Amino acid sequence: MVLRIQCTDRVGLVASIAGVLSAINVNILSMREHVDTAQNRFFIRLVTAATVAETDSETLTHQLQQVLPASAEITVNPSPKKKIILLVTKEYHCLSDILIRNHFKTLQASVQCVIGNHSSLQDICERFGVPFHLVSHEAKDREIFEKELTAVINQYQKDYLVLAKFMRILSAPFIAQFPHKIINIHHSFLPAFIGANPYRQAFERGVKLIGATAHFVTNDLDEGPIIAQQIIPVTHSFTAADMMKAGKEIETAVLAKALQLVLDDKVFVYGNKTVVVD
């Protein structure tokens, strides 16, 4: 059983949680906790020896609520295998990596479908037996386009939407349907070089490090809570094309890492930040 709790901090929280579990004869196998002292916020993720079948989630939640601060966010037994929907445009590197992981069952999730605003990536989806839906944005205003997107998305069960190089800006009403459930990979080490053409911007600035950022999508473009970031060194000998090639490799790695963390329920979101208990 996995147990996740986020609440206001106070003395004795770990002891209180352990006491509840001990009283029902549940052994703790691992525990990671964090306190944000500036926000007085407590986070904990526990793995126990109890199985899902042995756990009455509602009863345990009620028992924990009796010893935790009011408004504590408690999740017992989050789904061990999530369902995700991928949104793509034309770039294949992130999509192909996820499809391979999905095919060999190392993703800790099931890809329900892929939605593209171009048909460029339909063939690779079909090769892996994953449904592909074309929802073109051409000759449509954003509201109509997003209604069509939503109609396809709602045909499937889903825990998260993954923007695997989906090159369209989503509106606030669309994002509001999936709070902290849309994951994006950005081709830059945020907050530097936001928006389009980051590798050209980086080349012109003469940077010596480039990177990628995976984050949850909010109304503020490329400024949502950050899940994972990585950087790699570059030199004066790199052209903009060289940077782009290296950037695609790091984008793939960062998105894979972010998905691993989120799908394993190791990421807490609060405000515009995350706590990652890896």
| Per-domain residue ranges of the chain | 2-76, 82-276
Among 170, 177, 1, 20, residue whose Cα is nearest residue 76? 1
Query: Cβ distance 200 to 210 under 8 Å?
Result: no
pLDDT of the residue at 195: 60
Query: Cβ distance 276 to 124 under 8 Å?
Result: no
Among 212, 211, 210, residue whose Cα is nearest residue 238? 210
**For residue 177, what is the enclosing H or E element?**
none
Fold of 82-276: Rossmann fold (3.40.50)
Mind listing the pLDDT tens digit for each residue in 47-66?
999 887 777 889 999 999 99
The answer regarding whether domain 2-76 maps to CATH 3.40.50.2000 reads no
Per-residue pLDDT of the chain (278 residues; tens, 9 = 90+): 899 999 999 999 999 999 999 999 999 999 999 999 999 999 999 999 988 777 788 999 999 999 999 999 999 988 888 999 999 999 999 999 999 999 999 999 999 999 999 999 999 999 999 999 999 999 999 999 999 999 999 999 999 999 999 999 999 999 999 999 999 998 775 456 666 676 677 777 787 888 899 999 998 877 899 999 998 888 888 888 888 888 889 999 999 999 999 999 999 999 899 999 98
pLDDT of the residue at 246: 86
Mind listing the pLDDT tens digit for each residue in 135-178?
999 999 999 999 999 999 999 999 999 999 999 999 999 999 99
73-76/82-88 β-pairing = unpaired
| 8 alpha-carbon distance from chain centroid | 24
pTM score over 0.75:
yes
pLDDT of the residue at 225: 95
Distance CA 53, CA 68 (A): 24
Indicate the burial class of 243 (C-beta count within 10 angstroms; 0-12, 13-18, 19 or more).
buried
pLDDT of the residue at 191: 53
Which residue numbers are catalytic?
222
